[in-house]
């Protein structure tokens, strides 16, 4: 589980590096009202950035499930529970590190306190940090953190379903003893 948490830290740093920021403009209207708008299609980055976090966490989940399956002597439901707990921890670490790094990189943005340029056109261009989650509703945060665990459980279950042995291949197949008595088979197929 510690290894998955460290992987989450790396994923959070990678996400902070590749997640696209949101560019906006803040201006004053002729009536003196402060307004802001996102440039071009920049508002799509409110979706792209959290989806990148989900995608990176999903890749970690698939790779972790396949690697954990290689640990033959511990295959089973206990391993799925440990894998799921570890991946929730990794997703939480990735989100925390990612949010911290983009906050340090772009700072906190409050549209009401942005200093505006003086002159005929009172406007300022700003850059907003990308969001880690789609929204701050508890259900969406929980879904983001549980998504890698669900993905890994599904991958693990698919691998287990493809296993022919009922012990999931935990123990090596016992070889038949070479001195075991065998019955001769007649040509009719009856001993």
Structure confidence at residue 88 as a pLDDT band (50, 70, 90): very high
CA–CA separation, 178 and 111 (whole Å)? 81
In this predicted structure, what is the pLDDT of residue 176? 45
What are the structural domain ranges in the chain? 2-161
Residue 179 makes CB contacts below 8 A (sequence gap 6+) with none
pTM: 0.79
Check: CB of residue 51 under 8 Å from CB of residue 137. Answer: no
Taking only the tens place, the pLDDT of each residue in 20-54 is 998 888 888 888 788 888 888 888 888 999 999 99
Taking only the tens place, the pLDDT of each residue in 3-18 is 899 999 999 999 999 9
CA–CA separation, 34 and 31 (whole Å)? 9
Check: CB of residue 65 under 8 Å from CB of residue 160. Answer: no
Q: Which residue has the higher pLDDT, 137 or 122?
A: 137
> Which H or E run contains 126?
strand 123-128
């Amino acid at each position: 589980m510690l290894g998955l948490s460290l992987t989450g830290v790396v994923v959070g740093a990678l996400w902070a590096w590749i997640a696209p920021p949101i560019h906006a403009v803040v201006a004053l209207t002729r009536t003196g009202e402060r307004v802001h708008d996102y440039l071009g299609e920049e508002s799509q980055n409110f979706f792209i950035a959290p989806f990148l976090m989900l995608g990176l966490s999903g890749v970690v989940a698939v790779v972790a499930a396949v690697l954990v399956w290689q640990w033959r002597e511990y295959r089973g439901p206990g391993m799925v529970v440990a894998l799921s707990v570890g991946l929730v921890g990794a997703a939480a670490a990735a989100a925390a590190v990612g949010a911290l790094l983009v906050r340090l990189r772009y700072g906190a943005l409050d549209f009401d306190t942005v200093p505006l340029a003086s002159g005929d056109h009172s406007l300022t261009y700003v850059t907003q940090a990308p969001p880690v989650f789609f929204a701050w509703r508890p259900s969406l945060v929980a879904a983001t953190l549980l998504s890698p665990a669900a993905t890994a459980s599904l991958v693990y279950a698919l691998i287990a379903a493809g296993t022919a042995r009922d012990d999931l291949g935990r123990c090596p197949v016992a070889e038949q003893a070479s001195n075991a008595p065998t019955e001769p088979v007649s040509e009719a197929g009856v001993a």
